[in-house]
Structures are given as C-alpha cells and as structure tokens.
Amino acid sequence: MNVAERVADTKSIRGWLLLGSLLLFVQVGAAATLQCKFSDDEGKPLKNVEARLTLTGTEQHQFERSGKNGEAGFHDVKAGEYELMAQLKGYVTLKREIEIVADQSIEQTLMSEKAFDRLDEEVRGAIRNEQFSSALPTVQKLLISYPQDAALHFNLGLIYAGLQQQDKATAEAEKAAKLDAEFAEKGKLVQGTYWRERGQNALKKEDFAIAAEAFENWTKLDATSDQAFYGLALAYGHQGKYPQALAAVDKALQLAPQNESYQKVKQILQTNASQ
C-alpha cells in the first residue's frame, strides 16, 4: 500500500469513527415517550388521573392528566430511572419505579380505597390466623398494582416467614424497610414469625430438639415474647430437661403472670422434675 492509499484508508477509518460517534450521540440523547393507560380494578378506564413523572434523585417533574380513555402520555423523556406517581380521588395513590430507555407503553390499575382496604384486611386477618397460604395470592395481587407499597412488602415477608421461606421473608422485610424507614425496626417481627412457626411445627411433629432450637432463637430475637419462652418450656419439658424448662416457663410467667396455661404447665413440670 502506497502513501496515498494509506492516507485514504486513514480518512475512511476516521469517517466511520465520526459516523459511529454521531450515531451514539443520537441514540443516547434521543427523547422517548411514555404512554400510560390507567384503569380501575374492574378494567374500566379512569379519567382525570393526575400523573407525575420524576427523574430519580431530582426535582425534575412532568405532569399529565388522563383523558376519557384513561391514557396519559409523557413526551420528550430522557433515558433514565424515574418514579411514576398517579392519584385520583377515591383511589389509592400509586408510586412505582420505571426505567425509560425508549418509547414504551404501560397499563396500570388504580384500586378504589374500599376495594384495597377490603383485600388488605383479608390479608391481615389471614396472617393473624396463621393462614399464610390463603393470604399469599391476595397480597401478590395487591403488589402488582402497588409494587412500592412498604406495608404490602412487610406483610408478604410475614407470609413467607409463616411458610418457612426464610430467605424470601428476609428480602421482603428489607425491601419494606428500604421503602419506608418505619419498617426498619419491625424486621424482627418477620424473623420472629419464622421461628415461631418452625417451633410450633416441630412440636406437632414431636421433633422437640428442633422445636427447642427454634424457640431459643425466637427468645434471642425478642426477649419480651412470653409465647417464645412458653414454647421453649414445652420443647425442653418433652425432652425431660426440666431445669431448662422451668427456667423458661418462669420467664414466660414474668412476662404474663396471669396466664393460666403457663401456670398449669409449670405445675406439671415441677411434678415431673420431682419424680
């Protein structure tokens, strides 16, 4: 290759590099459109939904209102991470994260406050009654519409704990705390639920060593739970470990001195220990 050819080739390479840079600039700098369609929990379009799109970490807001078909469009949106908020009187306010890199459309359900409260109470009631399997589909349904709701993630953590899925329970508790600092101190309730259910299940299966381990962990997590110490007393008592069992039931009675069940178990333990 002679000098002229090398110069021509170099110019060609530079040209391609320049073209590539221009294309990259166009791709990175190109603005996108986010099209949102809002509907209620029966699938009917919602008019006059006030929607706000905010670039994460900034005060850069765009505001839109849905039309009669439930649609609202955000235009000239730069690529990045955003928070979408949508509200309408009588409906639970929505907040969700969304990444925008190109034009996209999303469909979002806003639940009426009455419908949301009814389902949420169903979940809470099932958790109180330790009916974790029945509560799981309902809270998952609510999270589809409200993925950034800290209380829903916390309840899901309780449910996973009750179902003995510790890793998932911990992840949901941490997510709830990240979304709302109020739940940071409540994480031990999720872990306590896990150890409680593990201990109770072990007692039913007469696996008393596992039960003792579970209730011991629960007492370490929450030294104010009389139920934890009572469960520990039962687990030790069934193993014939009466000193440990009596110490545990005494602690349960310190926390709940009027509990007749605890008093009866202590009498039984004392009788067995003296034989």
Mean pLDDT, the chain, as a whole number? 90
Region of residue 76 (left: phi > 0; alpha: psi -120 to 50; beta: else): left
Q: How far, in Å, CA of 213 to CA of 216, rounded?
A: 5
- Predicted pLDDT of residue 185: 87
Tokens (6 digits) for 186: 């409540």
- Predicted pLDDT of residue 13: 39
- Residues 39 and 69: beta-carbon distance below 8 Å: no
Q: How far, in Å, CA of 201 to CA of 11, rounded?
A: 76
Strands 61-65 and 50-55: antiparallel
Q: How far, in Å, CA of 271 to CA of 263, rounded?
A: 13
- Predicted pLDDT of residue 66: 97
- Predicted pLDDT of residue 31: 87
Tokens (6 digits) for 17: 């590099």
pTM of the model: 0.80
Fold of 31-109: Immunoglobulin-like (2.60.40)
Q: Could you tell me the residue ranges of all domains in the chain?
A: 1-29, 31-109, 113-185, 195-274
Strands 50-55 and 32-39: unpaired
Q: How far, in Å, CA of 158 to CA of 45, rounded?
A: 34
First to last CA, the chain: 106
Sites in the chain below the pLDDT cut of 70: 1-30
One of 1.20.81.30, 2.40.50.140, 1.25.40.10, 1.10.10.1100 is the CATH number of 113-185, namely 1.25.40.10
CATH architecture of 195-274: Alpha Horseshoe (1.25)
- Residues 64 and 85: beta-carbon distance below 8 Å: no
**Intrachain domains 113-185 and 195-274 with the same fold:** yes
- Predicted pLDDT of residue 22: 39
CA separation, residue 94 to residues 52, 63, 91, 206 (Å):
10, 14, 9, 47
- Predicted pLDDT of residue 273: 92
- Residues 98 and 36: beta-carbon distance below 8 Å: no
pLDDT digits (tens, 9 = 90+) for 135-178: 999 999 999 999 999 999 999 999 999 999 999 999 999 999 99
SS3 205: coil
Q: How far, in Å, CA of 208 to CA of 67, rounded?
A: 63
Q: How far, in Å, CA of 74 to CA of 209, rounded?
A: 60
CA separation, residue 176 to residues 26, 118, 182, 187 (Å):
39, 21, 9, 9
How many other C-beta atoms are found inside a 10 Å radius of the C-beta of residue 122? 16
- Predicted pLDDT of residue 26: 42
Phi, psi (deg, nearest 5) at residue 202: -65, -35
